[in-house]
Amino acid sequence: QVQLVESGGGLVQAGGSLRLSCAASKRTLSSFTMGWFRQAPGKEREFVASGRWSGGGTDYGDSVKGRFTISIDMAKNTVLLQMNSLKPEDTAVYYCASSPLRYPPARADTYHYWGQGTQVTVSS
């Protein structure tokens, strides 16, 4: 099993920045791809970004392209999500997740392990 622990959420004004961190207990074949998802109240879980421990590029949801950046720190088994130019509609619980697939579809059901989530609130 892979344990994932997110941190870094909080309250920020619109236009501000936050950096989320996800610490993974280990890297295994079951965690080939690391992803970030978010879920706002009353909405489905939404794909935000993904990257791979071994490189191979990154992917982003349309709503965050150009504002969010995912990065992988292999030495620390950590996945970061730098969020800039935040908007009130970015308010959600953000989850870190891992998938055994190299290029999983941007759907929550293709990710097997999940963190507990961290709240991000953007005020207008």
pLDDT digits (tens, 9 = 90+) for 52-109: 888 778 999 999 999 999 999 888 999 999 999 999 999 999 999 999 998 899 999 9
Residue 2: band (very low, low, confident or very high) from pLDDT cuts 50, 70, 90: confident
Tokens of 72: 């992988």
pLDDT of res. 30: 61
Identify the CA nearest to 55 among candidates 33, 24, 84. 33
pLDDT of res. 53: 83
CA neighbours closer than 13 Å in the CB half-sphere of residue 76: 10
Rounded to a whole number of angstroms, the distance between the first and last alpha carbons of the chain is 40
Within 10 angstroms of residue 114's Cβ, the number of other Cβ atoms is 17
Q: Is the pLDDT of residue 35 over 90?
A: yes
Residue 29: band (very low, low, confident or very high) from pLDDT cuts 50, 70, 90: low
% residues pLDDT > 90 (the chain): 80
As a whole number of Å, the CA-based R_g of the chain is 13
Burial profile 41-56: b = 16 or more Cβ within 10 angstroms, e = fewer: eeeebbbbbbbbbeee
Give the span between the Cα atoms of 11 and 123, in whole angstroms. 7
Q: What is the DSSP string of 56-107?
A: --EEE-TTTTTTEEEEEEGGGTEEEEEE-S--GGG-EEEEEEEESSSS--SS
pLDDT of res. 55: 76
